[in-house]
Structure 1
């Protein structure tokens, strides 16, 4: 089986940060990689930087154009257009910096799961380049299951790698859906766990500098102010809208899910529109959870207020 890693990178006006990321990819100790870009309508110098990189590695680079409907759709198009016989698949942001061992560690971690769709992910350094401040992202404490994926994403997209079986599953599933996803990484976590696959979490030192800046599509949301902002967003219905978007997409790939996942999905869908007592009873059957007790408590608070 080939150890080629196909790296998918969505680009939008990333010229300010793109070159260091591309340099870190070119310096990987796992040298068997190809890179597929999807430029989502950049108006800066991103396309010139990409062309320059393509000139250095003409046989490894594929350049495409995005749908211009958001970063999630841009990555979903990349997944949908993966070659039929693609092997491992990794995801890259345009503004990060990778350590040399990033791809090699992920391939090694996935080596024992050839026939089972498996998703690899791990921790990141939250990186503030102006001061070179680095904060290690939190590590999940609980199992990686569909009941967790329904209400929380632990698979940070810029750390994700799919083994060949998961790549085939993601490509198939992406071609079944007609509605936009909120975020491709959350969707992948739901797909892999819902279809009976595995998640491998790298507990070693982070091998990615996750650049924090004002133009982050989502950002890390670190600190007290970010937590307050999230809670306000829940009360405004932001979390409920994301859940609704996720459920609509999961409904279109229901046939790929295990019987248990389909059962939990249906109960969760019914709970969202039920009266309070019935809502809590149905959710108790599913027992969704987040990775921290405080996070789980927060979800139940949102559920009690009808904000899921």
Structure 2
């Protein structure tokens, strides 16, 4: 992707959700220290019932007094609300905000690539950066990489697909202000990364996808959300798309953006209204509404399955 120039003194406020993360947290914290963009702070929100993760963060803060490290008690309402609460209470003076999971390992240029890309967008325009990942097992052995995307990120894609993990996301101040103002008012979305993609694109902001992997995305037995790169995972995704699960996720997604739609562009509001119409009524009206909505997923087969789901009334 086209790169701007890294702003070495522009602070990135890193927001990390914790939940019994002691097994892998030290490696993730070490990868923050290894960033070639050195201007960052860390706020961690701990949803754990035991003290081990919090103790590691406190020790990290003691060992690195030159760093701004804050630890908060999480809301204990699930990982999505933990991250939305972090966003709601995020520092208001940092030019950039980044989400971080507790169990990944960032490459040294993760923040610098994000800041360089975001610096190309006018500061008054909401902008969201996300990137590809290197998929690894629990011991960081490489299994593959996240799927490439042929079509551009846009609201009509965001309505039906989340393409970037929150663990890769960095946003500029305008996007952070937009999202943090809304975070407390929305019902819990299916995922915070999907909601952010919808909100920033729906409000006319810029969404940037970096095809270069920026981190090791660790897959292990305690992942709350995992990668979907295998053939079996794709078949399972198709099964869920044509079953009832995708319809339930869409219902939650639409409920979560409803309080935000007044800020959407007219085009995004029209697309959202047409997509809602595609979920109800007789089949011919549903299909006509889906065409009006113009929504798409990144793969042709997935987009075709979207139309089949619409035809079957499972959208």
Give the TM interval when normalised to the shorter protein: over 0.9
Q: 1:166 aligns with which of 158, 175, 179?
A: 175
2:4 is aligned to: none
Q: In the superposition, relative to structure 1, how do residues 304 and 181 fare at CA in structure 2: closer, same or farther (>3 Å)?
A: same
User: SS where residue 48 of structure 1 aligns?
Assistant: helix
**TM-score normalised over the length of structure 2:** 0.93
- Asked if 1:306 corresponds to 2:313, the answer is yes
Aligned mate of 1:7, from 14, 17, 28: 14
Q: Identify if the C-alpha distance between structure 1 residues 131 and 88 changes in structure 2 by more than 3 Å, giving closer, same or farther.
A: closer
Partner-residue secondary structure (3-state), 1:273: coil
Equivalent residues in 2 for 1:109-188, closer than 5 Å: 109-113=117-121, 114-130=123-139, 132-177=141-186, 179-188=187-196
Residue 44 of structure 1, CA deviation: 5.7
- In the TM superposition, residue 165 of structure 1 has moved relative to its aligned partner by 1.3
Q: Contact 1:176 / 1:253 at 8 angstroms: preserved in 2?
A: no
Q: Structure 1: how far apart are the matches of 2:139 and 2:116?
A: 33
Tell me if the contact between 1:15 and 1:44 (Cα under 8 Å) persists in the aligned partners. Answer: no
Alignment of 1:293 onto 2:291: no
CA distance in 2 between counterparts of 1:228 and 1:143 reads 24
| 2:246 matched residue in structure 1 | 239
User: Residues 13 and 40 of structure 2 are in contact (CA less than 8 Å); yes or no, is this contact kept in structure 1?
Assistant: yes
Aligned length: 306
Q: Are 2:121 and 1:106 equivalent residues in the alignment? A: no
**Cross-structure match for 1:82:** 90
1:192 equivalent in alignment to 2:200: yes
Taking structure 1 as reference, are residues 131 and 145 closer, same or farther at Cα in structure 2, changes over 3 Å only? closer
Unpaired runs of at least 5, structure 1: none
Contact 1:20 1:97 in 2 (8 A): yes
Equivalent of residue 278 in structure 2, options 256, 271, 287: 271
Superposed CA RMSD in Å reads: 1.6
1:106 to 1:18, Cα distance in 2 relative to 1, 3 A: same
Partners of 2:134 and 2:296 in 1: how far apart? Answer: 25
Bigger mean CA deviation after superposition, 195-204 or 125-134: 125-134
CA distance in 2, matches of 1:10, 1:181: 16
SS in structure 1 of the partner of residue 279 of structure 2: helix
Give yes or no for the alignment of 1:216 onto 2:238: no
Does the CA-based 8 Å contact 2:238-2:302 persist in structure 1?
Answer: no
Given that residues 106 and 120 in structure 1 are in contact (C-alpha distance below 8 angstroms), is that contact kept between their aligned partners in structure 2? yes
Contact 2:241 2:305 in 1 (8 A): no
The whole-number CA distance in structure 1 between the counterparts of 2:290 and 2:216 is 37
CA distance in structure 1 between the aligned counterparts of 2:139 and 2:246, rounded to whole angstroms: 32
1:207 paired residue among 203, 208, 214: 214
Contact 1:109/1:120 (8 A) holds in 2: yes
CA contact (8 A) 1:221 1:227 kept: yes
1:86–1:167 contact (8 Å) kept in structure 2: no
Pairwise CA distance, 1:26: 1.3
1:117–1:305 CA distance, 2 compared to 1 (3 A): same
Matched, 1:225 2:222: no
CA distance in 2, matches of 1:115, 1:31: 24
Q: How big is the shift at 1:131?
A: 7.2
2:99 corresponds to 1:91 = yes
1:46 to 2:53 alignment: yes
1:260 aligned residue (256, 262, 267): 267
Question: Deviating runs (4+, > 4 A) in structure 1?
Answer: none
Q: Greater shift after overlay, 43-52 or 146-155?
A: 43-52
Deviates more, 1:225-234 or 1:12-21: 225-234
Q: CA deviation at 1:86?
A: 3.1
